[in-house]
């Protein structure tokens, strides 16, 4: 399995690459603010 999740934070496009089932976490910085993004793939 391979899937890309696309989302936008404050006008910044983010691509989240997932290769298997599970919970993935990524930190994204935009305008000096850090966001924690979690994707749960089932």
Q: Provide the CB-side half-sphere exposure for 10 (13 A, CA).
A: 8
| Full domain range(s) for residue 12 | 3-41
pTM above 0.85, yes or no: no
Cα 29 from Cα 42, distance rounded (Å):
26
At 1-40, the pLDDT tens digits run 788 888 888 888 888 888 889 999 999 888 899 999 888 8
- What pLDDT is stored for residue 34 in this prediction? 92
Count of structural domains within the chain: 1
The phi, psi pair for 10, rounded to 5°, reads 50, 45
Cα 35 from Cα 42, distance rounded (Å):
23
Beta partners for residue 23, in sequence order: 40
Contacts of 32 (CB under 8 A, 6+ apart): none
């Amino acid at each position: 399995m391979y899937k890309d999740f696309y989302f936008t934070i404050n006008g910044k496009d983010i691509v989240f690459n997932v290769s298997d089932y599970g919970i993935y976490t990524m930190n994204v910085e935009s305008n000096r603010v850090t966001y924690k993004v979690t994707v749960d793939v089932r």
